[in-house]
Homo-oligomer: A and B are copies of this chain.
Amino acid sequence: MFCTPLRLSTFTDNFAAALQERLHWSRALDADIDARVAQILADVRQRGDAAVLEYTARFDALHVDSMAGLVLGAEDFAQAFHLLPEAQRNALQFAAHRVRTYHEAQRTACGGDWSYHDEEGTLLGQKVTPLDRVGVYVPGGKAAYPSSVLMNAIPAHVAGVAEIVMMVPTPGGERNPLVLAAAHVAGVTKAFTVGGAQAVAALAFGTASIPKVDKITGPGNAYVASAKRQVFGIVGIDMIAGPSEILVLADGSTPPDWVAMDLFSQAEHDELAQSILLCPDVGYIDLVASAIDRMLPDMPRRDIIAKSLTDRGVLIHTRSMEEACAISNTIAPEHLEVSSRDPHRWEPLLRHAGAIFLGAYTSESLGDYCAGPNHVLPTSTTARFSSPLGVYDFQKRSSLIEVSAQGARTLGHVAYILAQGEGLEAHARSAQMRCHALE
């Protein structure tokens, strides 16, 4: 078995165009999926639980008489947790603790309520409040990831969200014990074994049994993604993720096997996943390529890895680490490993990335599971304008203003002029009326 990631060099004339071609990915806009999802959304909105039961029977082959057959609560989660092998139980708990500690630090760092008084005694500020209720979608079946439960539910819990509702399909009724155990350690309130667009619809509109939430987060297939996009605005959503990406900036000091395995770890997710290596040392790139060839046959998911690396992978020879950093900024990768002896020299040059992994020891996989930071990260260049999922996604702010009698005169005069300039006379008069103190 061989796979041959594309080799590029910044020394060649057509580099920029060749890289762009390699990076190009466009979301398959499937009008058929959108239309079918729109129908499911409308149906669940209108018929509620009855529609949810029907779709769950049809799509997940899970036949139950009533919604009571689709609910899981704290006791189910606890039971799943206690039935796990000890090593898994400890690992989950360790990971949850790390993720919680990080997000608690984030909550503190991001600040809470603030206010100040201006020189006329007018109060200005904001208050920060958690969302009341959120929904976390967790894929079932093949790609059931307990780590997703931790990464979505813990920041919500740390933010102070009172109710966290999990939706997890269980095709054929088969429940994933690790997912339920993760719900236990992550503070999920309750779960419904419902998936697909019908799960998103139920969370967005509410049914007799499933409560309407304020925001829906979590990954899903094309139907789930389309449903989230369609309900965006009725509820909040996190993001519509594209294929996962890793970019490794290497100065040649890390064992080549480590870097090759990191590229694999991205590629094994999915054939569309993208693994990129940038390095000024062409000899080192050769070593990584050899490691890829040597280690690939032994990987359980070698077919997916080979296709991902061959179709979308790229090993880039750069003039320098500085140039590699500049190229990385144009790519704005989801995961960015700085596999260097001197990662702090390069970090300040890196402007756009979801998560930055510094130094040879910091494999992306540690971040995926248990380092602490969130593994829900912006993909497909969206790190240019968006952030990792965080506590801030489960809070919102309200502005606070309390104008003093003196301030009402000063501000009223200015607002009057500007409102008249915009032709909004009621605004102008409403401001003007306050120019004279009460009593």
Contact = CB atoms under 8 A, between A and B. Distances in A.
Contacts of A429: 261, 264
A33 B434 CA distance: 43
A400 interface: yes
A428 B365 contact: yes
A366 B403 contact: yes
B116 A105 contact: yes
Contacts of A269: 424
Nearest to A237: B385
Contacts of A310: none
A372 B125 CA distance: 9
A318 interface: no
Given A399-B388, A400-B356, A91 B417 contact: yes
A345 interface: no
Interface string A421-434: 11111111111011
B365 A403 contact: no
A87 interface: yes
Contacts of A405: 361
A19 to B, nearest CB: 17
A380 to B, nearest CB: 8
A181 B106 CA distance: 39
Nearest to A404: B361
Residue picked from A88, A124, A145, A415, most chain B C-beta under 10 Å: A415
A239 B234 CA distance: 12
Interface stretch (A57-65, A75-83, A126-134, A167-175): A126-134
A196 interface: no
A235 B386 CA distance: 9
Interface of A: 27, 87-88, 90-92, 94-95, 98, 101-102, 105-106, 109-111, 114, 116, 118, 122-127, 129, 131-132, 144-147, 178, 214-215, 232-233, 235-236, 239-240, 255, 257-258, 261-262, 264-265, 267-269, 299-301, 305, 343, 347, 350-374, 377-378, 382-388, 390, 392, 396-405, 407-408, 411-415, 417-419, 421-431, 433-434, 438
26 contacts: A90-B414, A91-B414, A92-B418, A95-B414, A105-B125, A145-B422, A178-B422, A236-B382, A255-B433, A255-B438, A258-B434, A354-B398, A356-B401, A360-B438, A361-B402, A363-B431, A365-B426, A368-B427, A370-B414, A371-B403, A371-B411, A372-B401, A384-B396, A386-B396, A387-B396, A388-B399
Closest 10 CB pairs of A and B: A109-B114, A236-B385, A358-B402, A264-B426, A373-B399, A355-B399, A387-B397, A361-B408, A91-B417, A365-B427
